[in-house]
Structure 1
Amino acid sequence: MKSNGKMAKSEWVYDKNYASYYYLTSEGSYARNTWVGNYYLKSNGKMAKSEWVDGGRYYVGANGLWETKSSTNSEYPAALEKAKSYNSLFHMSKKHMYRQLTSQFDKFSNDAAQYAIDHLKTDYKYNALFNAKNYRKLFNMSKSGLFNQLTSYIDGFTEEEANYAIQHLDD
């Protein structure tokens, strides 16, 4: 609401309570997860400042303006490379990968870990099958045991991925 009592539309507003800028669309709602000019609005509607945004591809400075800064210094590409390495060695599920990347060992931010998972080109059904074959070979597990292991907190595969693995054990 503007000082004259009219609703703000298609303009920036400053909220003193949250010490942040927001952009109100022509409908009067907050813009979210989008660019307005050279400024990026986060999922909560606040203008981003001093951070990598839009999937780690762009950097906005302390004043909120987009800066031409290469994302190669960002943790996002580093998280993706680490995810590629883990995937080639351990064939993890999405959940397991996310937990590993955000663990005390790897210490990537939640956003960087999610970026890595979103950009990792892998087949999680294949990963489940790879693990199922290893479990069967090493521990002679039954199909129900394999399903329980694959969908456990530790492995974290979805039921669909685990079922695929069990159906293709003999392929």
Structure 2
Amino acid sequence: SVVEFVLGKKTEDIFEKANIIPLRGFEGIKYMEIPIGNEVGPVPDIIKHLVPDWNWLKGATLKIAVTHGTANAKKIMDDIKAGGKFSECHFIEFMACPGGCIGGGGQPIPTTPEIRKLRAKAIYAEDQSLELRKSHENPHVAKIYEEFLTDGPCGHKSHKLLHTHYTKRGRYIS
């Protein structure tokens, strides 16, 4: 969504079938850059109160990283502290499980790296067959923001209802 909003272009016009391949997969740390150029798209009405325009991004290069696992998260955090390349990222997604939720504890067991890869392949294939693949184009999501989360995606109500917070729960002993 952000790529489309900032660039004013459909993701599928930038990446084949809207698949941002450099950020997918099971490698522990993934990184990519997207040059923005001198043209930007319009800011959607729902977030104009936060960002009146994208002009400040003209000519910039969007730097993005995705990582999974706490050891890789530590590597990225150490790099940021040292002023390395990840300190220049505009967006970093940290995931606990290998490859994201597809490799997480809520998935069927037993699992192996091969099973995770096959599961990912099946999910990506299913995703490509869907008519609606982007939340900002989903009329049901739009209706929720229009009628219920009226202060927008970054508003107080959506933050309260849609964000989670860490709660220390102690150790599990079997």
Normalised to the residue count of structure 2, the TM-score between the two structures is 0.22
The structure that has the greater radius of gyration is 1
Normalised to the residue count of structure 1, the TM-score between the two structures is 0.23
